[in-house]
């Protein structure tokens, strides 16, 4: 019986250690990537206000890619930068009945998910 209790305690401590380690690394990753997520959101907000002024929406079930270089002078975003990490990016404006905006950035230390999927459309 003592042996079973000892094994239960060891397994409990091992599970606690694994859980604590995974939580630590998840929080560390979140703190590292949050500024990049914020930058993606910022370019969407700025492009949305600029883009909606002229009502240049894409046709239904279509999308338009707007390079950061195209709108850099038309918004108050001076440069795409997180700390010392300079980035480039674009915004996908999609019309599937509802106009949706999605920002994509590529930096030295971070790249948005699916960045290269639509990048070929920006040339």
CA distance 3 to 61: 65
Minimal CA–CA distance to 61: which of 100, 114, 109, 7?
100
Yes or no: say if 106 and 80 are a contact pair by the CB < 8 Å rule.
no
Measured in whole angstroms, the distance separating CA 8 from the mean position of its chain's CA atoms is 42
CB atoms within 10 A of CB 101: 17
Q: pLDDT tens across 51-95, in order?
A: 777 667 787 888 888 888 777 777 777 778 888 888 888 889 888
Domain parsing of the chain, residue ranges: 2-122
Does the pLDDT of residue 8 top 80, yes or no?
Answer: yes
């Amino acid at each position: 019986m003592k042996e079973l209790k000892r094994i239960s305690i060891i397994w409990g401590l091992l599970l606690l250690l694994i859980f604590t380690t995974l939580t630590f690394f998840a929080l560390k990753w979140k703190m590292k990537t949050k500024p990049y997520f914020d930058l993606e959101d910022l370019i969407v907000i700025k492009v949305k206000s600029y883009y909606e002024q002229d009502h240049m929406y894409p046709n239904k079930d279509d999308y338009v890619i707007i390079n950061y270089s195209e709108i850099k002078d038309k918004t108050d975003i001076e440069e795409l930068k997180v700390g010392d990490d300079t980035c480039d990016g674009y915004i996908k404006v999609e019309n599937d009945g509802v106009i949706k905006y999605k920002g994509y950035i590529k930096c030295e230390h971070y790249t948005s998910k699916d960045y290269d999927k639509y990048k070929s459309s920006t040339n």
